[in-house]
Structure 1
Amino acid sequence: MVEVLFHSLTGGFKIQILVIPIILTILHGCKSTQLSKIQGQEANLIFPYPCDSTEVTLVQHSSRAPFYRLTDGSSQLSLPGSQLHRFHVQNRIKNGNCSLDLTITNLMRNDAGKYISLVYKDGKSIVDHTTRVELQIHYPPGKASCVVSEGKGRDWVSIDCTANVGSLSGKIECYQDGVWMPSLTDPSETGTLLKQTILIRKSLPVFCCSSTLDEYKERCECNDTGLYIADDDSNDPCPPLEITTMPLLSTVTQSNQSVYYFSMVTSIPINTETCNSNKWVIIESILLPIYAIVLILSLFFHYKIKTKIRNNRNVKDPPIPLHLDTPLLQMMKNRLMKNGSRKNTESA
């Protein structure tokens, strides 16, 4: 944090500027990379090594024990049951370059951490060829659960839905009779819970689910929880749809809600997928330095102008030279001389 003091004619003011230095960290004998994935995806980690090495091992930092060992062309994989069938290691040799390729399928949260390759030759560690890969696993919110909250008039009622917060921002959606139901509140995170209130029609089966903000789940996939479930065919979360005209939500009021829903058979669900904010993050990251430069230049020119004005006011006016040969002074001098001669005559 750097504190800059600016002066002006009326005083001064301070501005604190956060200076973010670019720190280049050089780790001797270590190549480090970072990889971010979402739970359920597949990750591919590559660990290059000299082809003349006699032993290469892979270590997961959290376990602090090698889970893969390659020696003299033979390999050994040692993993717990939850990872054994999802971890695959291939020894690749191509164009004189050697590497171990680790592929992890159906990523789970406990797969996150640092993965390190240790290279040996004739029993001695080759530190210069140690490679570290940090794997980050992002995960969506947990499954949603809902309870009936309060009546909203006639056949309408609100339900309060919650889900465990994920590392990715999320939302909760509900479908009733195959139709997307409007939300009364925006999704909000309170502590470890994601919360949202949905408006539904009373006494009809409703199916709800959670998802990430940039994800859209089809009505057939949205079945984390259900309300008003009965033992008949109406419990199908994916009923067949008939294409009908659906009025805008702004035209649905408490007075015509029940008429609207009773009159329609089914309708096409509305995709309310939230816009991805990554584009705005990139734009802001570009504009922010520009704003900072403009601000600093504006303050600099403001300081220079105020300093120049202050210096000009501090300069005193030069004295006016006195010229004794002006007509006014000459006339006063002549009068004084005449008065002096007259007094001398009278005294004589």
Structure 2
Amino acid sequence: MQARVQMKQYVGPDLGKVIMGQVTFLWEFTSPCFNTWKKRVTSLAADSARVVANLPSRRYRLQQALECAALQMLDCNSMMSRVCAIFGGSRGIGHAVAQLLAQKGYCLAIIARNLGRAQTTAKNLGAGHLAFRCDVSKEEDIQNVFKEMETSLGQINYLVNAAGINRDGLLLRTKADDMLSQLQTNLLGTMLTCKAAVKGMIQQQGGAIVNVGSIVGLKGNSGQSVYSASKAGLVGFSCSLAKEIARKNIRVNMVAPGFIHTDMTTHLKEEQLKKTIPLGRFGEPQEVAEAVAFLLESPYVTGQVLVIDGDLFFLHRKLNAALLPKVGLFLVHSDQPSNQRWKQVYFHV
């Protein structure tokens, strides 16, 4: 309503109606999801009227207003051609990914179990981003939210799976319900969102998926056996899915963060733990978001697990290799005529 009033002030009620009508017609003709963007259309028409308000000729003002609106619609349609669904986008790493992708011009669907938090996130990102509620542990919820997203925003081109839960505890003290909830959310939920997204991506002959795992899925951690299992499962799933759908020009990658400043790490003893990290600090969600954006936009990268942990994982591997005894021995024969000696080579297993 405010935009309509401004438009009348800029160019008068008669020309304002003409500009609004023409912009609406152009938008309906060019945009696949006009209903979602009605407020944006009105604002866009008002912006166009403001730009041309001081031009002398009425006809020239109308012409310039439509040209201005058309240019803005090209930008908006370009934005809608890059639609990304972010599960778990209302907090932590998912929220950081949403902020970065919004800056890059993506049209975002923020999905979380808490709809209010998702709506707040979407609102803070600016116009054109929508919020949806979904429990990824329930297949029916996932199917319904993809229908809603496609109706409101069009086909999903990009998918980021950042939703996850953790229930720390020794295996002997972990209840079966806690095991199932972690596996259903962290592993099965990601499988189901990928399945739903890939259907649309195959029709478009292209798309990109990034799953957010964890370093403990690669090296394990005491007190996190179930959580580690769910994240380790993501590694095999992501790499296998990448092979299945690569010929459809759909890429699947994964990030494996280490200690990152999120709600999941607030209870940890940071001063003690950061001494085990070569870079000497915890990471920030924005740093993981940069890696996610890189994988979404790199057309020749698929089936990869990108570790973001300040070299914690590789230090762990180096220490293990140094401590392991030389348990194997095999002989290598040199093919060089001048050297027919057999060489002893020790190796680690």
TM-score band by shorter chain is under 0.3
Give 1 or 2 for the bigger CA radius of gyration. Answer: 1
> Which structure features the higher share of helix residues?
2
- Using the size of structure 2 for normalisation, the TM-score is 0.26
- Using the size of structure 1 for normalisation, the TM-score is 0.26
> Which structure features the higher share of strand residues?
1
